[in-house]
A and B are shown apart, each in its own frame.
Chain A
């Protein structure tokens, strides 16, 4: 009910702004200021040994998709209201939204003297993929690297300001500052009941920023991100008292017409441990419409000294790793077909198992698992 109200409220806001924009204008002029976009990625997946990301073992599921509908009303050349609703279904994952359509974005945007200002629930500018993590036509695999782009932290409820600056020598930079709050979700186990549930936490206030440096070589850019987050949830932080956590990241993006190489590294320090993730993506256009893509992603978790809780003996190595290879065939820039295979291992968990899950304040470990999972997907955008 609450979700329905939020969607209706956003639609009413959009219609109200449309009505107030200029009563004298003809209706077709108003309609010309309304832009409708959307995307859909429909997947088909299976896993070999353990359920991961909701993909079941030894059978195929088609209950795997991401879709969104975006309405942008440009009230003037400088002002716009943007609303996006969507749904993400992840088969058996507790994070799956099932059939529910959720309000994803609702913000007011103003462009002034080269600056872009957004107020409301806005996409969270972080890294290469965060704002487009579900747009299948734009990303090389079904989803952005999971251990870097974990669930939640997709939007900011607050203010986001960005500006692009030209620099000497063919360089340019784009700087973004943000402040507000965000929702974080993670899977948590109930060991007694052998169930997995979604634990939601409010991050905030949070404040930070991101900078991209565009090099004179077209398509090559370097980026950095930093933020401070006020937290008071022991499940996330491992610390009972309220405190401030930090997140820093660095990015490399080289995207040419027929080849790309992208990499990110991130250090998240919420409390009693450090979560260090990194990934690299590489792709090459082997035929006019066919891309060969590869992914390497790894996470290392380092517990802070004095944490006297048992952890898996092999945690000293990697917390998680995902190696993937895939083909992406672009029927057009707006329609893509993908097939991909992943070899995942680590202490993530997705379904209750008979094995004991070791839990520690601030971080939850599944047993060390290994699985291969496969996805075929069709993506379209308009």
Chain B
């Protein structure tokens, strides 16, 4: 029994190691991070974007509260954003938010149906940050932040 247990544990450790070092596949859909035109920022690091979208940081550098706008779970742009900016699969992000909810910490960001809704919300709110697909036309009052460190 003891011998079998040892081989089971060795098997577990080997499988864990192989999966841990396997690089994740990255989605190809282009993604742009957008904010209100009044936001003084022009660039954003990937790390800061990750912190904002996971609500690990809740204020802009000018102390204004951040309003995060997310996209629908099954959208291609959400998948691309999750993998490229958050470095997580969408399912892992959903689990992260379940953890936040059921530890009583906070709510996930508001989810909207698509790029048009994101742009409308960002256009109407100087605190907002969202993301859209690469081919979305930015209306007046919305600007793109160049993301560094991806």
Binding site for B on A (CB under 8 A): 35, 37, 39, 70, 72, 74, 77-78, 82, 84, 105, 107, 109, 111, 114, 116, 118, 122-123, 125, 131-132, 135, 137-138, 164, 172, 218, 254, 256-259, 261, 282, 284-285, 294, 330, 333-334, 381
Contact = CB atoms under 8 A, between A and B. Distances in A.
A35 B105 CA distance: 13
Contact of A114 (B59, B101, B107): B59
Nearest to B63: A113
Contacts, number: 75
Contacts of B24: 257
A62 B27 CA distance: 43
* Most B C-beta atoms less than 10 A away, residue of A70, A256, A285, A381: A256
Contacts of B59: 114
Contacts of A381: 98, 102
Contacts of B32: none
Interface of B: 8, 12, 15-16, 19-20, 22, 24, 56-59, 65, 87-89, 91-92, 94-95, 98-99, 101-105, 107
A172 B98 CA distance: 21
B98 A35 contact: no
Given A282-B12, A333-B91, A107 B104 contact: yes
A122 B104 contact: yes
Given A114-B58, A259-B19, A334 B94 contact: yes
A84 B102 CA distance: 10
B91 A284 contact: no
B107 A138 contact: no
4 A-B pairs closest in CB distance: A333-B94, A131-B103, A259-B19, A135-B102
B20 A72 contact: no
Contacts of B57: 114
13 contacts: A39-B102, A70-B102, A114-B59, A116-B105, A131-B102, A135-B98, A138-B95, A164-B56, A256-B20, A282-B12, A284-B15, A285-B19, A381-B98
B102 A284 contact: no
B20 A259 contact: yes
Contact of B103 (A123, A258, A284, A294): A123
B20 A105 contact: no
* Most B C-beta atoms less than 10 A away, residue of A135, A137, A218, A257: A257
Contacts of B56: 164, 172
Nearest to A72: B107
A123 B92 CA distance: 23
Nearest to A109: B104
B5 to A, nearest CB: 8
Nearest to A325: B8
B142 to A, nearest CB: 21
A282 B16 contact: yes
Given A37-B102, A282-B12, A333-B94, 15 more contacts: A70-B104, A72-B107, A84-B104, A114-B58, A118-B104, A123-B103, A123-B104, A137-B98, A164-B56, A172-B56, A257-B88, A282-B16, A284-B16, A294-B8, A381-B102
Contact of A333 (B12, B95, B107): B95
